[in-house]
Amino acid sequence: MQAAVNAGIYRAIPSFFGVSLDNPEIANMPFMKTKLPVLNDVLAKAEKGEITYTGINTGMFLDWVLDEDIFVGLSGKAPTRVADGGDIPMSATALDDIGKAISSVLSKPEETVNKLYYIHTVVMTQNQVLGYAREAAPGAEFAVEQVDTKVLVEAAWKRYNEGIRDRVSVRDFVIRASYGMGNGFFPKTDNEFMGIRQWSDEELKEEIFKRVKANPPVSLKVPEG
């Protein structure tokens, strides 16, 4: 960040993407240890007038979490890990809308100085998306694994404190922060200011149908009889 200041960069758009950092339990999680120092440095430099910033919290990257089976296992290759019952609403933003938000910030430099904005393309739950997927491919199993995020994070801390710093632990910290603590959903957004239109449930359903039809799940139920 100091290099940006030295180069005379006017506006930084640091990584506020993902879950809200307001909760101290989340801020203390290991996956935040590399992110928070950068954010704090930006905020400190902005306070001193050395640079300006705009934060854009997008929740999940919609394309990524659907493409990579992170939110729900649309490919059928592995069970969906359904967190805390599966009915927790989550905010997600399409990559096109993230680009639109960044463009909006840069086109309104004075209005967006040192502010944090929240956007999402869609609000969805795991059970909702699973329901759409099963409707799109009735012959597919779409197996699930029910998980308790409190149990997950306790095990993740145990592994971390024993020196096991693997992807599983990081994943479980993120799951707890997003689902179990309610930080993955934005009840209020700045969509209108950023020119973002929120999808309806029907539009989300159409997106899931399109993906499932284009890439049929691999794990099909064995026909009875």
Distance CA 17, CA 55 (A): 8
Q: Tokens for 19, please give them.
A: 């879950």
pLDDT at 106: 94
Distance CA 94, CA 194 (A): 14
Count Cβ atoms below 10 Å from residue 91 Cβ, excluding itself. 25
Query: Would you say residue 19 has pLDDT above 90?
Result: no
Distance CA 147, CA 191 (A): 32
Section 168-192 average pLDDT? 89
Residues in the chain: 225
Residue 5 gets which letter from DSSP? H
Contact assessment for residue 76 and residue 217, using Cβ atoms and an 8 Å cutoff: yes
Residue 198 gets which letter from DSSP? P
Confidence of residue 151 (pLDDT cuts 50, 70, 90): very high
Q: Does domain 2-214 have CATH number 3.30.390.10?
A: no
Which tops the pLDDT comparison, 27 or 41? 41
Long-range contacts of 46-52 (CB under 8 A, 24+ apart): 46/114, 50/5, 51/1, 51/4, 51/5, 51/9, 51/10, 51/11, 51/12, 52/10, 52/11, 52/12, 52/109, 52/113, 52/114
Distance CA 104, CA 195 (A): 8
Q: What is the pLDDT of residues 58-91, one digit of tens each?
A: 999 999 999 999 999 999 999 999 999 999 999 9
Residue 52, amino acid: T
Contact assessment for residue 121 and residue 194, using Cβ atoms and an 8 Å cutoff: no
Going from N- to C-terminal start, the domains of the chain cover 2-214
Q: Which of 4-8, 44-48, 157-161, 202-206 has the least mean pLDDT?
A: 4-8
Q: What is the pTM of this model?
A: 0.90
Contact assessment for residue 120 and residue 93, using Cβ atoms and an 8 Å cutoff: yes
Q: What is the pLDDT of residues 127-142, one digit of tens each?
A: 999 999 999 999 998 9
